[in-house]
């Protein structure tokens, strides 16, 4: 088992998250272990005859709410969703390989908040 997989498995929702500068950025909202077999999210091709409601429904995706190429990387490698008041959308995603350590009751990252993708 890789070190990043081990780190993700030790994280629980509600844990505080600290970035590489030592600043508290928020709390863990969602823990998603990596899935090497994750299917890449493909944007559906719009049927010109379909209604706008159908189109909106077909493009609505769950987590992670980021561009498809990034979503695929997060799903493959695992990630945390962190609730934070420091970005306008209220959440950022932490790729599992950005977790530097998990100790006692905190998640430490090896990057600053500014390097993390925000929820769309």
Other CB atoms within a 10 A radius of the CB of residue 77 amount to 21
- Enumerate domains of the chain plus CATH numbers: 3-40+50-115 (2.30.30.240)
The whole model's pTM is what? Answer: 0.78
Residue ranges in the chain assigned as alpha helix (H): 3-9, 52-59, 68-77
Per-position b or e across 56-72, b if 16+ CB within 10 A of its CB:
eeeeeeebbbbeeebbb
Per-residue pLDDT of the chain (120 residues; tens, 9 = 90+): 455 557 889 999 999 999 999 999 999 999 999 988 876 555 444 445 555 555 444 444 578 999 999 999 999 999 999 999 999 999 999 999 999 999 989 999 999 999 999 999
């Amino acid at each position: 088992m890789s070190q990043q997989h081990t780190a993700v498995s030790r994280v629980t929702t509600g844990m505080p998250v600290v970035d590489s500068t030592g600043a508290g950025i928020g709390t863990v909202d969602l823990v998603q272990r990596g899935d090497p077999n994750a299917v890449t999210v493909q944007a559906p091709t719009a049927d010109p005859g379909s209604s706008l409601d159908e189109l909106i429904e077909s493009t609505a995706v769950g987590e992670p709410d980021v561009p498809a190429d990034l979503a695929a990387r997060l799903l493959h490698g695992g990630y945390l969703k962190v609730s934070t008041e420091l970005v306008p959308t209220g959440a950022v995603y932490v790729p599992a390989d950005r977790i530097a350590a998990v100790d006692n009751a905190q998640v430490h990252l090896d990057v600053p908040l500014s390097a993390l993708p925000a929820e769309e």
